[in-house]
Amino acid sequence: MKIEEFKNITIAYMRRTGSYGPENKILMENFKEYLKEKHLLDQDSVILGIALDNPAVTEKDKLRYDVGLIISEDRSTELSIRKIPDGIYAVFELPHTEQDVACFWSNIQQSAGNLPIDETKPIIERYSADKIAKHLCEFCIPLKAAKFSCPKYTLIR
């Protein structure tokens, strides 16, 4: 695990509303196909998967999931554009398999340990081309910055 500061991140994205599950994977695949068709995907691309709602408190038909490509603020696109909340995130790297991703989601509280999770911000799945080439992905858990103090980890800006 490492600690990173997210600042001024803009994404071009597609959103799906409904139960989390296999449909989110379909959205991700459709998004990647769109990016390929529009020549927006390259070796420096970073795609985010963002579950915006907590299924424990939000009705299944109202759950929102975004898939987005990190872009420069001045880049024009036909897709919707939005910012990722600035803040401090704990970043966990894991094998990019359905089993490992499902296991991480199931044990997220245990993985985060005593870190002060900021539940007002979504957990972000991060897929960079270099990590995908190594069959890895990252989960970025937002932290309450004012309460974060851990000499064991260095903040990456």
- State which fold the 2-156 domain adopts: Multidrug-efflux Transporter 1 Regulator Bmrr; Chain A (3.20.80)
Q: What is the pTM of this model?
A: 0.88
Per-residue confidence of the chain (157 residues) as pLDDT tens digits?
999 999 999 999 999 999 998 899 999 999 999 999 999 999 999 999 999 998 889 999 999 999 999 999 888 889 999 999 999 999 999 999 888 888 888 888 888 888 899 989 999 999 998 998 899 999 999 999 765 555 455 445 4
Element containing residue 152 per DSSP (H, E)? none
Domain spans in the chain, listed from the N-terminal domain onward = 2-156
Distances (CA, A) of 117 to 51, 86, 114, 123, 146: 15, 14, 9, 10, 11
Rounded Cα distance, 140 and 146, in Å: 18
